[in-house]
Structure 1
Amino acid sequence: MRKVLYLEPVGGIAGDMFLAAGVDLGLSPEALTQALSGLGVPGWTLAVKRAVRHAISGTHLDVVLDEREAHPHRAYADIRQLIEAAPSLPARAKERALAVFRAIGEAEAKVHGVSIDDIHFHEVGAVDSIVDICGAAVVLELLGDPEVYAAPPPLGSGTIRVAHGNMPIPVPATLELLRDLPVRFEGVGELTTPTGAALLKVLAHIGPPPPDFITERIGYGVGTKDFRDRPNVLRASLGRAEARAEGLWVLEANLDDCTPQLLGYLLEHVLVRGALDAWVVPATMKKARPGHVLSVLVEGGVKDAVTDLLLRESTTLGVRSYAVERRALERDWVEVETPWGRVRVKRGLRQGEVLNAHPEFEDCRQVAEAAGVPLKQVMAAALAALGTSR
């Protein structure tokens, strides 16, 4: 069984609407704040309230700053350093947030005809945008890492004033981010922001609805503006779908001229793109050359996208694929209390019976480092706490 999150940008999408939809699905604003507390940016808080647009009730969220920065311009390298140094952000959330910022940076670089190293983020480099993007990555963690699908977003029309002056809507970066992806040219005003476009591009499969799934929770993230022609909401439906054995594939590529750094990069990025698992095995290639076999387990819905990634990002000249079967346990997350703090434990279940359990490594590491105790001691305490809480 896998989790599915389906996003419908009825009134468009922005970073704060994504966070608001997560809260409306039941996530705690305090949990979001705690996960984002390690970001080294000036003071901020999350202001959450109920709001209504066109008779639809949902959650509205603002990132409230203690004092707005006079010149919120940051280079990609500065933002990367902030995110990588944040001790409270889970590793996968860091990867996703960095991928979103890189996508925005590449789009801006393409629009302005410069290198990404020369790009200085303006609005997107401000504290509230950093919190929005890192918060969106945390939302997916707190929701249990669902597979994300999204309907084509409406882009809006008109003009808007930004750091570079008056710009057409959609602004060039938004359109560049969504190039080659399905969109809707409709609506008045800026419905999809660059941040919203980047979140969809990096985190979601944009296009047709997801395979059939059972909807369990529905949330509405409410935007600030109130449009005449549509409710300004982002609807998020969270549910579960059974993984079909015939829909699972293994993709393989032989690599005899690939550096260790590139192999590590590939492993990280196929997982961000939706792969279920990925691994590298040493091998002896023709002419007795040492090399590696890169294997990736994917569902049919992301097979083409991951294959394209391997062809573009690796040194291979071809990718093999074959269908496989897998019987998977149901999975969930529970929080347990150790003598040094709370950590999450991932459980594997079959018909309600817990067959496997493993403490979240990043949680245990943060607790161990903060308390000055051995990591293995925290992990053992987490398993013991899980046993007493069943």
Structure 2
Amino acid sequence: MTDRVTIVEVAARAGVAISSVSSALNDRPGVSEQTRARIKQAASDLGFVPSVRGRSLSAKRAFTVGLVVHRDPFVLESDPFFGSFIGGLESVLDPRGYALILQMGSAADETLDRYRRLAAGRRVDGVFLNELVVDDPRVALVQQLGLPAVGVNPAPGFPLPAVHQDVSAGVHELVAHLVSLGHRRFAHVAGPSRFVHAVHRVEAWREALVAAGCDPGVLVEADFTYEGGRRAAAELLGGAARDGGAGDGAADRGDRPTAVFCANDLAAIGFMAEADARGVRVPEDVSVAGFDGIELGTYVRPALTTLTTAPRLLGAEAARLLLAAVEGPDAGSAASGVAASSRVRVDEGAVPAVAHADIEPARLLVRASTGPAPR
């Protein structure tokens, strides 16, 4: 095993002072672009790998950021959205030399304690606040801790940098599609009402239906899971299940919805499975649409109509904003393709001004799970 290449050797190879190597490799001012390029080439030729501890001492940063997920681990295991989101974070963090700490919090108090521990001893330079809840206590906590943070799809008036994806336009597209197919009886399988993004989807759905001259219909709260979708289908569809279970008589009352929008694709897939078990055909008897555009939706039969989101871009933008908060406004620019797909705006109501990023809105992807309303 060869000895580790040192910064002294890089300086000697490039013919510069050690301090110049440190400035060049940490992208700090103080060296010309020509010298910076020569130093980086020397480091590459020698196979120099910067010491994280050394970088931390030099820059007074941990070069680590945190993501605490307040979800059941089973949900993370089954929902591909989180993998794409984390991949987007890494696409920006890794080229900048940052590591991501991922922790799970199963209870609200435990989650807050995790943020306190991450902030203690400067373990992380900043954190992501995703899965925001109404009146989320983490916002006040990170402000109290002085910990840079970026929110993901927060409510209006969020006081910290945040990345947003509009869902309203896509939901209006979906409603227009369903109305054009003759549907007039609707239902929404919503996520838990404590989540801000679940509230956004409910509001957009109801606004779109009212704008189309339709009754908002029934709302059933589920939990973004396959089983939650099945339970919602049992409540909405009624009738006897093929496995011998009993429904609630909705089919006999004649008020069963003919079109159902689920707050995510996993719930929609569970809904379709339960519909099939009850002898309710999709889309002949009920049209079903989801949200997220996960790849699994292309494999089920019928293939799932959905609103496609961009979790990878959402993560990349969140990482770019967090590095900007940690290092300065020019940080994170190395992420290719990010700026071209987003729009940065500044909330002038905040003091100091807070930058937010808007990524491309959710869009309708029509597949076979939606069809003409039954006669």
Question: TM-score when scaled to structure 2?
Answer: 0.26
- Find the structure with the greater CA-based Rg: 2
Structure with more of its chain in helix, by fraction = 2
Structure with more of its chain in strand, by fraction = 1
Question: TM-score when scaled to structure 1?
Answer: 0.25
